[in-house]
Amino acid sequence: MFQVRIHGRGGQGVVTGAEMMSIAAFQGGRHAQAFPSFGSERTGAPVVAFCRMDDHEIRLREPIMEPDAIIIQDPTLLHQVDVFSGLKKDGYILINTTRTFEELGIGEFVKGFQPNHLLTVSASELAQKHVGRAVPNVPLLGAFAALCKLISLEAVQSAIDEKFKGAVAQGNKAAAAEAYNTVMNQAAKETQHA
């Protein structure tokens, strides 16, 4: 089982992001379960959503306390919420930011993690560019697809089509694709250098 915890703020599409991730995993033939942290939703308040994926039926209903991957939609949460709580040592960290892990002040903390499991993406900027609103959930999903390789870009695109229509769907699909391709190209370059 692979477990993802998404941290963000009310209005950033955290819950929708987890739901789309589960749809993408389902498209890929997996069992998936997405659920919110069930708080009283308020714009700007910290929000958590979860997604589990497995090749078997998922029966477990507890919140994800030891995630395999953490997606942080708003880096200001780093100073407010213990977002890395329970993250496995070989886990993945994906942050929506234009800064580096060092610049975010967590360079020391992430030293114990595998470098190719750490990723920052300027998801808000990508969303602003393609959708006209800085809602980072979909570009992060594209980046997650490239980072963890558990869901395909095509499945993400298809999940976007289930959730959105018309121009919003088109914009989100373009944003997901650019995030995905940026991460893949970056990874390819790093492999060449290595």
Partner 1 sequence: MLEQCEGSHAVAKAVALSRPEVICAYPISPQTHIVEGLGEMVKSGDLTPCEFINVESEFAALSVAIGASAAGARSYTATASQGLLFMAEAVYNASGLGLPIVMTVANRAIGAPINIWNDHTDSMSMRDAGWLQIFAETNQEALDLHIQAFKIAEELSLPVMVCMDGFILTHAYERVDMPSQEQVDKFLPPYEPRQVLDPNDPVTIGAMVGPEAFTEVRYLAHAKQMQALDLIPQIAAEFKKEFGRDSGGLIKTYKTEDAETIVIALGSVLGTIKDTVDDLRAEGVKVGVLGITSYRPFPISAIRDATANAKRIVVIEKCFAVGIGGIVSRDVRSAVRNRPQPVLTVVAGLGGRAITKTSVHKLLLDAIADKLELLTFLDLDWDVVNRVLDREKSQRRSGPIAEGILRDMGNLATQVV
Q: Which residues bind partner 1 (CB under 8 A)?
A: 5, 7, 18-19, 22-23, 26-27, 31-38, 40, 45-46, 48, 58-65, 80-83, 85-86
Q: Would you give the distance in Å from CA 194 to the centre of its chain?
A: 26
Residue 65 vs 188, nearer CB to partner 1: 65
Q: Are 126 and 175 in contact (CB under 8 A)?
A: yes
Nearest to 156 by CA among 170, 171, 173: 173
Which of 77/123 has CB closer to partner 1?
Answer: 77
Rounded-to-integer distance, Cα 149 and Cα 162, Å: 21
Find how far residue 37's CA is from the centre of its chain: 16
Nearer to partner 1, 9 or 129 (CB): 9
Whose Cβ is closer to partner 1: residue 128's or residue 158's?
158
Q: What's the min distance (Å) between Cβ of 24 and partner 1?
A: 9
To which residue do tokens 């959105």 refer? 164
Q: Rounded to the nearest whole angstrom, what is the least distance from the CB of residue 27 to partner 1 in the complex?
A: 8
In the complex with partner 1, the residue whose CB is nearer, 34 or 135, is: 34
Taking the complex as a whole, how short is the minimal distance between the CB of residue 125 and partner 1, in angstroms?
27
Task: Report the b/e string of 162-190 with b at 16+ CB within 10 A.
Answer: ebbeeebbebbbbbbbbbbebbbeeeeee
CB of 60 to partner 1, least distance (A): 5
At its nearest, how many Å lie between partner 1 and the CB of residue 185?
A: 30
